[in-house]
Amino acid sequence: MQTSGDYRAGFACFVGRPNAGKSTLTNAIIGQKIAITSPKPQTTRHTIRGVLHREDSQLVLVDTPGLHRPRTLLGERLNDLVRATWSEVDVIGLCLPADEEIGRGDRFISGEISELKATLVAVVTKIDLVSKATLAERLLAVHRLGAFADIVPVSAVSGEQVGTLVDVMVGHLPKSPQLYPDGMLTDEPEQVLMAELIREAALDGVRDELPHSIAVLVEEVLTEEGLTKIYADIYVERSSQKAIVIGHQASRLKEVGTRARREIEDLIGGRVYLDLHVRVAKDWQRDPKQLRRLGF
Ligand X SMILES: Nc1nc2c(ncn2[C@@H]2O[C@H](COP(=O)(O)OP(=O)(O)OP(=O)(O)O)[C@@H](O)[C@H]2O)c(=O)[nH]1
Give min distance, CB of 49 to ligand X, in A: 11
Query: In the stretch 267-286, what mask flags binding to ligand X with x, by CB under 6 A?
Result: --------------------
When asked if residue 156 is in the footprint of ligand X (CB under 6 A), the reply is: yes
Q: Based on CB atoms, which residue is closest to ligand X, 10 or 93? A: 93
Angstrom distance (rounded) from CA 88 to CA 257:
42
128 DSSP assignment: G
Cβ 26 vs Cβ 50: under 8 Å: yes
Nearest of 187, 222, 191, 213 to residue 278 by alpha carbon:
213
Candidates 70-78, 150-158, 198-206, 222-230; binding stretch for ligand X (CB under 6 A): 150-158
Q: Based on CB atoms, which residue is closest to ligand X, 126 or 172? A: 126
Interaction residues for ligand X, span 32-71 (CB under 6 A): 66
Angstrom distance (rounded) from CA 2 to CA 178:
6
How many other C-beta atoms can be found within 10 angstroms of the C-beta atom of residue 3? 8
Q: Based on CB atoms, which residue is closest to ligand X, 87 or 158? A: 158
Q: Is 41 annotated as a binding residue?
A: no
The one among 52, 129, 179, 206 contacting ligand X by CB under 6 A: 129
Angstrom distance (rounded) from CA 11 to CA 90:
5
Whole-angstrom CA distances from 137 to 131, 143, 248 are: 10, 10, 70
Helices (H) and strands (E) in the chain, counts: 9, 9
The one among 11, 12, 16, 290 contacting ligand X by CB under 6 A: 16
When asked if residue 250 is in the footprint of ligand X (CB under 6 A), the reply is: no
When asked if residue 128 is in the footprint of ligand X (CB under 6 A), the reply is: yes
Positions in the binding site for ligand X (CB under 6 A): 16, 18-24, 66, 125-126, 128-129, 155-157
